[in-house]
Amino acid sequence: MKPYKIGYTTGVFDLFHVGHLNILKRAKEQCEFLIVGVSTDELVQQYKFKQPVIPYHERVEIVKGIKFVDEVVSQTNRDKFSAWENLHFNVMFVGDDWKGDPLFERIENQFSQVGVDIVYFPYTKGVSSTELKEKIQYKVKVI
Above 90 in pLDDT, residue 121? yes
Q: Residue 70 region, left (φ>0) first, then alpha (ψ -120 to 50), else beta?
A: alpha
Instruction: Flag whether the pTM goes above 0.85.
Output: yes
* Catalytic residue ranges: 48, 50
66 and 24 Cβ atoms separated by less than 8 Å: yes
Domains of the chain: 4-142 (3.40.50.620)
Percent of all residues in the chain with a pLDDT value above 90, rounded to a whole number: 78
H helices of 52-101, in order, are: 56-64, 80-87
Q: What is the mean pLDDT of residues 60-80?
A: 97
